[in-house]
Structure 1
């Protein structure tokens, strides 16, 4: 079964969450739930969070999560890390994750690299697409990984290593999540307005990425 790791109560799975026709298990590490046994995991999705990958003293569950992700990579279990999840994957693979560096916020354009044209996660995604950005920290592309996407201000937007993908952007969010984040951070109504105006483009990309990832698990959306 697809296992979704939630690191922060404020950062849910949104569009990528379980549905009646799309079973998945959400493991809320932020609420003290334990990591599952790999026998129960056919695919792994690691969500974002307001914390940094380096905040292991304040959020001690990040340490076993990093070990769990490293083991998933070695087992070649399909893995999708989103924002903090992508940063955790990058760190697990030996790449720097820098705090307060190349931050972005809002629905912004991204560009696929030439290598992404043959990548199974990005199959059918436009070479230039829009998705929600909401990050202060950023990752470098790990050694041995394939660089898949970049933005104007942050070159590290997506990479693949074996059967694991790290994303800096947020394809999983919906308008409710963006509105909640805007209220919590004081980002302002203009972020929600901009997201709403480009919602169709965001949804098209999100739907394609999710369908492609589920296909890697042997499922079709």
Structure 2
């Protein structure tokens, strides 16, 4: 009997979990089924051994990958990601998670020219990535961005973020934008903005942010990406 796929979720903040991915994983017809395990790094929970999972989901968070002095567990997290790459695991990173994959692969993660918070257009730059619409407006919520690691292939960009995502082979995907966004995601992210939203040309108002019209297309793309990994 085929074994179920073990999925380790690395969570870095309250409310920044897997969102619209959850109902995809809990559909028993997907692949051989999944066992989900979440580790709350922000709450001091210990990382699992690289042999304890098949898929690795690295989620978002308000910290920077460069904040190792304040968040020393980032060092071990990057090490685990490198080990997962070496063992050819399936790895998906979103926002901070994508930046952690980039850093683990030796690429620079740096402060962007402007903060990007809102439902802004993202364009596909790789026709081979069939799950991604040619142009759509997912939720972006980041101030840092990444350069392309050696051997990686960029697949998306936006007006102020040259590389909105990259892949390495068929099993490693790093996204800047939040395809997992679902009802309640914006409220959770706003709660992490303890000093309020920053000002900027690419920062939408709370009214604009609370629009849910883009959620169905984001969910469809998210599920398409996951399906491509089975």
Q: TM-score, normalised by structure 1?
A: 0.85
The answer for unaligned runs of 5 or more in structure 1 is none
Residue 118 of structure 1 is aligned with which of 104, 124, 128?
A: 128
1:194 matches 2:204 = no
For 1:203, the equivalent position in structure 2 comes to 216
Q: Which of the pair is proportionally richer in helix?
A: 1
Deviations 1:49-104 (A, max 9, x none): 11111111111111000000011111111101111111111111121111253420
Residue 209 (structure 1) shift: 2.2
Aligned residues of 1:4 and 1:46 also touching (Cα < 8 A): yes
Paired with 1:147 and 1:184, the residues of 2 have a C-alpha distance of 29
Query: 1:143 aligns to what SS in structure 2?
Result: coil
CA RMSD of aligned residues (A): 2.3
Paired with 1:105 and 1:152, the residues of 2 have a C-alpha distance of 13
Aligned residues of 1:175 and 1:195 also touching (Cα < 8 A): no
Residue 133 of structure 1 is aligned with which of 133, 137, 140?
A: 140
Q: TM-score, normalised by structure 2?
A: 0.82
1:25 matches 2:37 = yes
1:9 matches 2:14 = yes
CA gap of 1:39–1:55, structure 2 versus 1, over 3 A, is same
For 1:182, the equivalent position in structure 2 comes to 190
Q: How does 1:1-221 map onto structure 2 within 5 Å?
A: 1-17=6-22, 20-21=26-27, 23-113=35-125, 115=126, 117-119=127-129, 123-162=130-169, 163-185=171-193, 186-187=196-197, 191-197=205-211, 199-216=212-229, 218=230
Most deviating of 95-104 and 10-19: 10-19
Query: 2:184 aligns to what SS in structure 1?
Result: helix
Residue correspondences, number:
211
Paired with 2:153 and 2:192, the residues of 1 have a C-alpha distance of 35
Aligned residues of 2:186 and 2:210 also touching (Cα < 8 A): no
